[in-house]
Amino acid sequence: MFIGIDLGTSNSSLAVFDGDSVVVVPNSLGENLTPSVVRMDARGAIVTGRKAYGFLESDPANTWGEFKRLMGTGDRLPFAAAQQELLPEELSAKVIASLLADARDGLGFLPRAAVISTPALIELPQNHATMRAAKLAGLSEVALMQEPIASAIAAGWRSEPEGMWLVFDLGGGTLDVSLLKTQEGRLRVRRFRSTSSACCAPRPPRSPPPRGYSRPASGPRRTRGHRPPAEARDRRRPRAPPHRSGPPRRP
């Protein structure tokens, strides 16, 4: 039996493969996706997942999400009430530990080894941070696999001698496109494009707007697909005379 973990920026999940089929292990709420969110209260007690997600807006000073983007940067994320700071990989470890606890409740045993999927272009610091998060969560054996390769294997790739795969990854607010190629029986990422730098790229945390803040009015905003009324278009510039084809008419 093999354990696979998708440690996502927005949500995470754990699945088990028994050699024939893959089954996603639901969390304690019966959901297949667990929000990658961690909250710490004034006593230092930590909650993760859906229970923490509800505090992102009501208690942002003690709740963190999307910390995967800061993995490997060395930035410490503060929890004001408890006056503590944790590394992003330490927060990821809390999410992984929550997934492992759900697996223990659903499978009857606590996994000690797992495969964790990573972005297509992951740098060495983020790689080491992911391994450290897995160790902190209690895993003794960890293998990392690039997400597009994991997707191709799930879609049916089986050590074919030659072939190419195009993998689209609709992530948390991003679109990643990977071109994979089989070389000597191994699948490798040959090209990669992303709509943003969400592939574990450092992003400084943003403080929430002050209470009572409202966006100043700046007049009507023009959105894509919007066209001003016909009379307004007519006032902007004179209309050109209609084009006529063929020789000019004699007076």
What mean pLDDT value characterizes the chain?
80
Distance CA 160, CA 198 (A): 31
Model pTM score: 0.73
Q: How confident is the model over 180-227, as pLDDT tens digits?
A: 888 877 888 888 888 754 444 444 444 444 344 344 343 443 333 444
The DSSP code sequence of 221-240 is: PP-TT----HHHHHHHSPPP
List the single range of 22-36, 116-130, 233-247 with lowest mean pLDDT. 233-247
What are the structural domains of the chain? Answer: 2-157 (3.30.420.40)
- Tokens coding 123: 């740098």
What's the sign of the alpha-carbon dihedral 38, 89, 143, 69?
A: positive
Phi, psi of 110 (to 5 degrees): -95, 115
Comparing CA positions, the residue from 172, 249, 169, 146 lying closest to residue 12 is: 172
List the single range of 7-21, 134-148, 159-173 with lowest mean pLDDT. 159-173
Comparing CA positions, the residue from 126, 110, 107 lying closest to residue 118 is: 126
